[in-house]
Amino acid sequence: MPATVPETSLPSINSVPEVVNPIPADNPIGAILLSKRHPLLLRADFSRVSELVSQIYLSTQFQPIWFTANRSEKNLNDLLSILNNASNDALNPANYDVDHLKQLINEPNPDSAAVAGYDVALTVSLVRYLHDLRHGQVDPRDVEYPVHIAPKPTLDLAGLLKQYLAAQTLTEVVGQFEPKTKQYQQLKQIFTRLQQLGNQTGAQEFKPGKMLRPGDKHPHIVHLRQRLRDMGLLDNNSAADSKTYDNDLVAAVKKVQQQQGLTADGVIGSATAALFNQSSSEKIAQLALAMERARWIPDTTDGPMIVVNIPAFELWAFNSVDDPNPLNMKVVVGKSPSNQTPVLWEEMKYLEFMPYWNIPKTIYEKEILPKAANNQGYLASQEIELVRHQNSDEKGGGSYLRARQRPGKKNPLGRVKFVFPNTADVYLHDTPGHAAFNRPRRDLSHGCVRVSAPEQLAEFVLGDQAGWDKESIKQAMSAPKTRHVTLKRAVPVLFYYGTTFVDHQNQLRFYPDVYGQDEQLKKALDKIHAPTTASSTPNNQLVMSKSTDVGTNP
């Protein structure tokens, strides 16, 4: 119960508390912050980071932090260096007005109104960069495909900035905001290496001009061999000058074909040949998309973790970040385009052995009810029963009939499901039919993820839980009754969409864009790229005073 409040402290029933805005409108800096627009920046609207920028100036009582009486040239140079190096993380320095900021910094004898404008311009650009680096340029909740990942917790940017500016070590602030996940760091290493190599495609294009079969000879085979070495699929002991399409090459090509959803027969036709002609610039563009997605992932802690890479149709279960031998298995994911498995980050809370399948209303009405209408005994034959479900008071009370399928061989959830409560109502589960795991492309489900090795996954999840071993798990998966097992330690689960992905052997893999999400992400990124309508000269000064005409908030 809440503590009793003395009557004397209660506000009058008719009183309306005065809303006090801590940002002063009659202050030049405050006026810019209130408008959430800055005419000196190519992207004038800075509303996405306005709260962070306001917190910084709130701590200085809305006084400049860069253009002070004893301004630090080192801090200013460090700021430019940080923004200039944005490309190291696949971010565009132009999006942070770095060239324009150089002019502002070097502008001679600006008046106080101009100083306010210049100061806020520098701060907005830095905050934009750090925010993009930590959270991504695109908010994943704003894209058109299903995403269920909560934003990362914000850092005390105002406090950190004050600390590093005072110590004149501003460049060190970047490390606080750079994503710490292993996937991001691996992608960045490869991205840096490819940038250094540049585009080297033209001199060694692999264009055989005809179909190649195992054992064929062709002068371009030497280029194919080098491509496969670069991809980490062929060791350096392979004869570099051989023009024969030998067994080692065939095995490596089959792996690539399988990854890309092609028939893994080792025959090189036009579609397979195209896989080996991707230029460095094309790979860099793919890596940039992958790094953007990796920024959405929460910073992981050491311990067990499960990752499903949707376009790879694979699951990995790691005991630790550096686990050299993770559990790996094939999976079936949601069908494109109507039943996409969402991108999500949740914690697995429990398992259900021999589970009931609570049939979603849409599946029942569209798929099961028409069959039942034509066959009176259909529900009984499929062991489907109708049960009354009571709504909670929070949902308005009342009850309704719900269809569910009893545990058994006909149940599509198989013998175990792994549950991590989420708003998309998806989970990992076994399946009675395993033929689909032999297909190269496995987007076949209604959205949940079917696993090919449920017993091994159960062993992984229950590995440190007393009373569970291979035998007890096997018994639970064949018991006549449902058994609910709560995990003593929740296991993080990531459903990830990585068409460009670094595996646990530090090898870069490319997978088919089965849901078309790469193109959607490209469009979202294109929308935020800096326009070119703002003035490029510092003479376009802000004149701020008590009578400043502040633009309306976006």
| Active-site residue list | 429, 448
DSSP tag of 217: B
In total, the chain counts a number of residues equal to 554
DSSP tag of 142: G
Residue 328, token pair as written in the block: 């790996």
Pairing of strands 357-358, 483-496: unpaired
Spatial separation of the C-alpha atoms in residues 456 and 135, rounded to whole Å: 34
- Do 67 and 118 contact (CB within 8 A), yes or no? yes
- Do 304 and 491 contact (CB within 8 A), yes or no? yes
**b/e map of 209-223 (b: 16 or more CB within 10 Å)?**
eeebebebebebbbb
Long-range contacts of the stretch 134-142 (C-beta < 8 A, 24+): 134/177, 134/178, 134/179, 134/295, 135/295, 135/296, 136/292, 136/293, 136/295, 136/296, 137/91, 137/95, 137/292, 137/525, 137/528, 138/292, 138/521, 138/524, 138/525, 138/528, 140/293, 140/296, 140/343, 142/524
Spatial separation of the C-alpha atoms in residues 96 and 91, rounded to whole Å: 9
Distances (CA, A) of 78 to 94, 174, 485: 17, 11, 54
Cβ-Cβ contacts under 8 Å for 58 (sequence gap 6 or more): 22, 23, 158
| Nearest residue to 291 via CA among 193, 188, 391, 378 | 188
Neighbours of 205 (CB within 10 A): 12
For residue 441, what are the β-bridge partners? none
Torsion of CA 174, 180, 186, 189, to 10 degrees: 10
List the alpha helices (DSSP H) in 168-234: 174-177, 182-197, 221-230
* Residue 410 phi, psi (nearest 5): -90, -10
Q: Which residue is it, tokens 């585009």?
A: 199
Neighbours of 296 (CB within 10 A): 22
Coil, helix or strand at residue 275: helix
Pairing of strands 327-334, 416-419: unpaired
Neighbours of 423 (CB within 10 A): 10
Spatial separation of the C-alpha atoms in residues 154 and 134, rounded to whole Å: 9
